[in-house]
Amino acid sequence: MVKLTLRENESVQDAVRRFRKLVERSGIKKEMRRREFYEKPSEINRRIRLRAERRSRRLRNNPQG
């Protein structure tokens, strides 16, 4: 849960900017996007498998990291 306390002499625009950064860092937007539409379990597994394959391919091609 993101909490934001207004600082002394802080404008509303600055507070909103800080709030947006906090929400972005906490991963709430990413989670909302992920839950926006139903995804079948097979699609979830496929996405995870493809991500792992890309990661392993990248590591194989560039062993330094």
DSSP 2-17: ----PPTT--HHHHHH
- Reported confidence tier of residue 51, pLDDT bands at 50, 70, 90: very high
The per-residue pLDDT for 59 is: 87
The residue range of the domain holding 55 is 12-61
Is the residue at 6 inside a domain? no
How many whole angstroms separate alpha carbon 51 and alpha carbon 11? 42
Global confidence as pTM: 0.56
Looking at the domain assignment, is residue 5 inside a domain? no
The confidence score (pLDDT) of residue 50 equals: 97
Q: Provide the residue type at 31 as one letter.
A: E
d(C-alpha 54, C-alpha 28), whole Å? 25
* Tally of domains in the chain: 1
- For the residues 7-21, what does the mean pLDDT come to? 94
Q: Taking residues 22-47, what's their average pLDDT?
A: 93
| Within a domain: 22 | yes
